[in-house]
């Protein structure tokens, strides 16, 4: 199949989904406003740290995931392996494949064939990172030079296409149309989310509900799909499948909202990118949306002046951060993330107590207290 590129962005995943003509019937109903670096990101610096507790229980699974990622990136075209290993090896939480493995076990799976399917979700995630960096003209990704700065936009877009195609190829091996439908529905929603984000670039008028819809599609869709696929692969019933999908949806929203707050409060060394990166890219995220709603007249005007300027100097980033924090934007965003984390945990109530459920509950807590 040929690759179609417009404005430097591949539309291969969109075309694949449209050929199959899947219909997404649940885009809005679950999302009311109540609103990783590889293995080291799960390793703690203290004995009481939640990351250490999680890693102690999933470390062997993360090792298996890493080994499978490396094996599946083999290609007789060297550039594919080089760029693929660069993006997957530059640091990541492996959250999506790990969730698929854990959810399959929660539903009763006991075999060893889960990891190959789980890697599908890391490959799709990696493909979106490659494409995002092209769209955003990014220079850094996880403290390393973005792949497009090393190999150029055409190579990076095409390797992203390979990762998408490889993901579908692997998923087909399992001969379960339900899994394919979940995967392709997620990639459709992710593509729609990317377009929504592009349409709202430099848009300070975006509402909270509209922004939540962007992150629901762009971030939460794939995490929900990983959890739902775990249920399908593990032999779970419809109630378990729906519960794990809801867990993943809310976990994904919480994850992105914490990312939003860290762009204002984090440290560049921890984030792997400059603080205020979203502002520089013209993205109005929830802390800023809330601040514009609550800030007083002069501060609101200043936020607009800085955000709409052609370049934003470091001192202006600090000024925006101070206004956003003073208006309660950070506190509100973290509170919304905590509310979605709680909803994620509530979705697990139908499952009996056990080690897999406990890990998933801990991950929901970890998502809201992480620093990177």
Please tell me the number of Cα atoms within 13 Å of 234 on its side-chain side: 27
- H/E stretch holding 52 reads helix 50-72
DSSP code of 219? I
Percentage of the chain lying above the pLDDT 90 cut? 67
The reported pLDDT for the residue numbered 139 is: 79
The reported pLDDT for the residue numbered 49 is: 83
Inside any domain, residue 31: no
The reported pLDDT for the residue numbered 91 is: 72
pLDDT, average across residues 223-248 = 98
pLDDT, average across residues 109-137 = 93
Which domain does 312 fall in, by range? 7-20+36-369
Q: Kindly tell me if the per-residue pLDDT of 95 is higher than 80.
A: yes
Across the chain, the runs of DSSP E, i.e. the strands, are 5-6, 9-10, 140-141, 144-145
Domain count, the chain: 1
CATH number, domain of 197, equals 1.10.600.10
pLDDT, average across residues 138-142 = 77
Q: d(Cα 237, Cα 149) in Å, to the nearest integer? A: 46
The reported pLDDT for the residue numbered 276 is: 83
Inside any domain, residue 108: yes
Inside any domain, residue 29: no
pLDDT, average across residues 221-246 = 98
Residue 14's pLDDT band, with cuts at 50, 70 and 90, is very low
Q: Kindly tell me if the per-residue pLDDT of 102 is higher than 70.
A: yes
The reported pLDDT for the residue numbered 327 is: 93
Inside any domain, residue 228: yes
Residue 269's pLDDT band, with cuts at 50, 70 and 90, is low
User: How do residues 296-342 score in pLDDT, each as one tens digit?
Assistant: 889 999 999 999 888 888 899 999 999 999 999 999 999 999 999 99
Residue 51's pLDDT band, with cuts at 50, 70 and 90, is confident
Inside any domain, residue 104: yes
Q: d(Cα 121, Cα 282) in Å, to the nearest integer? A: 28
The reported pLDDT for the residue numbered 297 is: 86
Tell me which of 234 and 10 has the higher pLDDT.
Answer: 234
pLDDT, average across residues 42-60 = 70
- On average, the pLDDT of the chain sits at 85
Q: d(Cα 264, Cα 262) in Å, to the nearest integer? A: 5
User: Encoding tokens for residue 366?
Assistant: 């970890």
The reported pLDDT for the residue numbered 106 is: 98
Highest mean pLDDT among 38-42, 118-122, 259-263, 265-269: 118-122
Q: d(Cα 367, Cα 181) in Å, to the nearest integer? A: 27
Inside any domain, residue 27: no
User: Encoding tokens for residue 256?
Assistant: 């992105």
Q: Kindly tell me if the per-residue pLDDT of 370 is higher than 70.
A: yes
pLDDT, average across residues 27-42 = 36
The reported pLDDT for the residue numbered 137 is: 82
DSSP code of 217? I
pLDDT, average across residues 251-259 = 96
Inside any domain, residue 30: no
The reported pLDDT for the residue numbered 12 is: 38
The answer to whether 284 and 206 are in contact (CB under 8 A) is: yes
Q: Kindly tell me if the per-residue pLDDT of 358 is higher than 90.
A: yes
Q: d(Cα 204, Cα 308) in Å, to the nearest integer? A: 9
The reported pLDDT for the residue numbered 272 is: 65
Residue 16's pLDDT band, with cuts at 50, 70 and 90, is very low
User: How do residues 186-215 score in pLDDT, each as one tens digit?
Assistant: 999 999 999 999 999 889 899 999 999 999
Inside any domain, residue 1: no
pLDDT, average across residues 2-12 = 36
Query: DSSP alpha helices (H): ranges in 200-296?
Result: 208-215, 221-233, 238-265, 268-271, 277-280, 286-294
Residue 92 φ then ψ, to 5°: -165, 155
Three-state secondary structure call for residue 319: helix
């Amino acid at each position: 199949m040929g690759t179609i590129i417009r404005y430097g962005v591949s539309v291969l995943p969109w075309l694949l989904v449209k050929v199959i003509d899947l219909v997404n019937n649940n885009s809005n109903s679950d999302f009311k406003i109540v609103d990783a670096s590889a293995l080291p990101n799960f390793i703690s610096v203290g004995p009481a740290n939640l990351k250490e507790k999680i890693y102690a229980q999933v470390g062997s699974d993360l090792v298996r995931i890493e080994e499978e990622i490396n094996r599946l990136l083999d290609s007789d075209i060297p550039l594919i392996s080089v760029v693929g290993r660069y993006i997957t090896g530059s640091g990541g939480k492996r959250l999506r494949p790990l969730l698929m493995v854990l959810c399959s076990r929660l539903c009763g799976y006991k075999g060893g064939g889960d990891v190959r399917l789980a890697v599908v979700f890391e490959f799709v995630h990696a493909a979106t990172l490659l494409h995002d960096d092209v769209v955003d003209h990014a220079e850094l990704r996880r403290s390393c030079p973005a792949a497009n700065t090393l190999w150029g936009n055409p190579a990076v877009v095409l390797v992203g296409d390979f990762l998408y195609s490889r993901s579908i190829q692997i998923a087909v091996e399992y001969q379960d149309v339900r899994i394919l439908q979940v995967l392709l529905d997620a990639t459709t929603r992710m593509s729609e989310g990317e377009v929504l984000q592009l349409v709202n670039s430099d848009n300070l008028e975006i509402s909270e509900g509209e922004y939540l819809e962007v992150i629901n599609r762009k971030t939460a869709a794939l995490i929900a799909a990983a959890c739902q696929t775990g249920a399908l692969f593990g032999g779970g019933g419809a109630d378990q499948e729906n519960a794990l999908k809801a867990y993943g949806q809310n976990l994904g929203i919480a994850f992105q909202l914490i990312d939003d707050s860290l762009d204002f409060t984090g440290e560049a060394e921890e984030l792997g990118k400059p603080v205020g990166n979203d502002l520089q890219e013209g993205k109005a995220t929830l802390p800023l949306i809330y601040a514009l709603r609550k800030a007083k007249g002069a501060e609101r005007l200043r936020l607009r002046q800085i955000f709409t300027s052609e370049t934003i100097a470091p001192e202006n980033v600090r000024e925006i951060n101070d206004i956003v924090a003073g208006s309660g934007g950070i506190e509100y965003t973290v509170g919304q993330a905590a509310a979605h984390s709680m909803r994620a945990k509530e979705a697990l109530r139908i499952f009996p107590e056990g080690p897999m459920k406990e890990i998933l509950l801990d991950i929901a807590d970890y998502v809201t207290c992480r620093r990177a």
